[in-house]
Structure 1
Amino acid sequence: MKKLALAAVFSATATATFAGGMAEPVMPAPVVVEKTTTSSGGIIIPLLLLVAVAAAASN
């Protein structure tokens, strides 16, 4: 019975020892930020406003 208990203790100790192991470090992926530009550049609304003012002024 002592040998069985001793074997159980050794087996539990061996599994706990190897459970951690050496693992490769995990590096987080770099964040890529892309700048996006539009061809209009937010000029459409002022142009439409200018056209509306010019149409109102011509009447």
Structure 2
Amino acid sequence: MKKFLASALAATMISSAAFAGGPVVVEEEPVVEASSPRSGWIVPVVVGLVLICAVACGGDDE
């Protein structure tokens, strides 16, 4: 009886170890991309207008 229980216990432990952990599911994380700002053209235009105004309006020493 002891040999039967020992072999049954060993068989149970081996078969349960084979299925331990379950299936492995790998999910990819979504890629987050930064969108380009809409106001990317405003700063260069304002700086350009300030430079044009400084050249056109300044420099008169009368």
C-alpha distance in 1 between matches for 2:27 and 2:12: 32
Question: 1:17 matched to which residue of 2?
Answer: 15
Which position in structure 2 is the counterpart of 1:49?
Answer: 47
Percent sequence identity is: 22
What's the counterpart of residue 28 of structure 2?
29
Unaligned runs of 5+ residues in structure 2 are: none
Cα displacement string for residues 15-37 of structure 1 (whole angstroms, at most 9, x for unaligned residues) = 22122328445142363455624
TM-score, scaled relative to structure 2: 0.51
User: Match of 2:30, SS?
Assistant: coil
Aligned length: 55
Describe the SS at the equivalent of 2:38. coil
Deviation at 1:43?
1.1
- Aligned AA for 1:51? L
User: Greater CA deviation, 21-30 or 47-56?
Assistant: 21-30
CA RMSD of aligned residues (A): 2.9
1:38 matched to 2:3? The reply is: no
